[in-house]
Amino acid sequence: MLGSGPASTVTASIPDRHHFRGSFGGKDVVPLWRDAAATKPNVTGGLLDLLAREFGRPVSPEDLFAYAYAVLASPGYVERFSEELTIPGPRIPLTRDRALFAEAAELGRRLIWLHTYGTRFVPDGERPGVVPQGSARAIVAVPDTAADYPERFSYDEPSQTVHVGKGAFGPVAPEIWSFSVSGFEVVRSWLAYRMKGGAGRRSSPLDDIRPERWTPAFTEEFLELLWVLEATVATYPTLEFLISRVVATGPTLTAAELSSPTDAERAAPSASSTPEDQPSLGLD
C-alpha cells in the first residue's frame, strides 16, 4: 500500500533493487522505453493512437509519461484515492480534455526535469544538469577538515535552519525538512548517510570505507537537494488543483476503452535492452 507523499519517483539512471530507501527494492519500475535505442515505447499498443484520435493531434510517449508523473507525483493523489489504493497498483485517470492533458503533461515534464537534477526533459533556455536555485544558502560553511567532520545534524524550526556539525543552512521551511515519500524522509536520510558514522546496515567491510571530511561538493549537493524540494513543494497547489479538475470536470477514458497489455508488453525489458539515457518511474 502506498504511504503518504508522492506515489512515484523518477530517475534518469537504471534503478537497482536498492533504489527506493535501500529496502523496498526496484521491483515496481516503469521505464519510458523498452529498448536502448528509445524506439519502442513502454506503452500498451493502441493507447497513443486512441489519445491522438481523442485530442485531434499526435501524443508522444514522453507526453503520456509526463502526464502520468504529474498525477502520481502529487501527495493529493494518495490522499484522494486512499480507499481505492488499498488494492495495490496505482491507476491513472486519463482525461479526455485536450487542454487539460497538455497542461498536466507540461507540469509533469517540469517535475521530471527537477527530479532528475536537470538532466531529462530540459526546458528551452535551460542548461542540462543545472537545477534552478532556491532560497536556501550555506549560512555558515561546514569546515573542510577531518577533525570537524559532522557527526550529527539538527533542525531549528523557528529560524528554519538546518545545523550540520559546525555549519548551518537556511532558510529551510518545515515542509522541506519533513518532505517524505512513503515514509522515507528525504533530507534527514541524505544527511544521515553523510555523517561521520554513516547510516544504514553494514553488510561488508566495504561499508567501512567512508569519506574523511565534509567537502565543498557535499555542500553543493545538499543545496541542490533543498532547491529541488523547494521547487517541488511549490508545485503542489497546482498539482492538487489539476487532479481535482481531471476527476471532477471529466470526462475520463473508461477501462473498457483501453486495450489490455499483451504478455510481451507485460514482460520486463532485458538488461541489455534497458535504455540508459531515459527516465524511469518508481512506484513507491
Indicate the domain borders of the chain.
Answer: 8-130+233-283, 137-232
Model pLDDT, residue 27 = 62
Model pLDDT, residue 83 = 76
Q: Rounded CA gap, 260 and 262, in Å?
A: 6
pLDDT greater at residue 147 or residue 82: 147
Q: Rounded CA gap, 248 and 161, in Å?
A: 40
Report the range out of 80-94, 130-144, 192-206, 245-259 with the highest average pLDDT. 130-144
Q: Rounded CA gap, 29 and 216, in Å?
A: 33
The SS3 call for residue 16 is coil
Model pLDDT, residue 105 = 97
Cα dihedral sign for 90, 280, 20, 120? negative
Model pLDDT, residue 48 = 96
Model pLDDT, residue 249 = 74
Model pLDDT, residue 84 = 78
Q: 18-52 burial, b if ≥16 CB within 10 A, otherwise e?
A: ebbbeebeeebbbbbbbbeebeebbbeeebbebbe
Task: Give residue-wise pLDDT tens across range 77-124.
Answer: 877 887 777 777 778 899 999 999 999 999 999 999 999 999 999 999
pTM for the predicted model, two decimal places: 0.88
Model pLDDT, residue 205 = 82
Mean pLDDT to the nearest integer, 256-272: 83
Share of the chain above pLDDT 70, in %: 89
pLDDT(25) > 60: no
Q: Count Cβ atoms below 10 Å from residue 192 Cβ, excluding itself.
A: 15
Q: Rounded CA gap, 39 and 24, in Å?
A: 30
Pairing, β 161-164 against β 167-170: antiparallel
The CA-atom distances, in angstroms, between 237 and each of 56, 68, 172, 231, 268 are 29, 17, 19, 12, 35
Query: Contact, 41 vs 276, CB < 8 A?
Result: no
Model pLDDT, residue 102 = 97
Model pLDDT, residue 284 = 52
Q: Rounded CA gap, 134 and 32, in Å?
A: 29
DSSP assignment letter at 225: H
Q: Which residue stretches of 56-97 are H helix?
A: 61-72, 75-80
Query: Contact, 100 vs 109, CB < 8 A?
Result: no
**23-27, 59-63, 248-252: which range is least confident on average?**
23-27
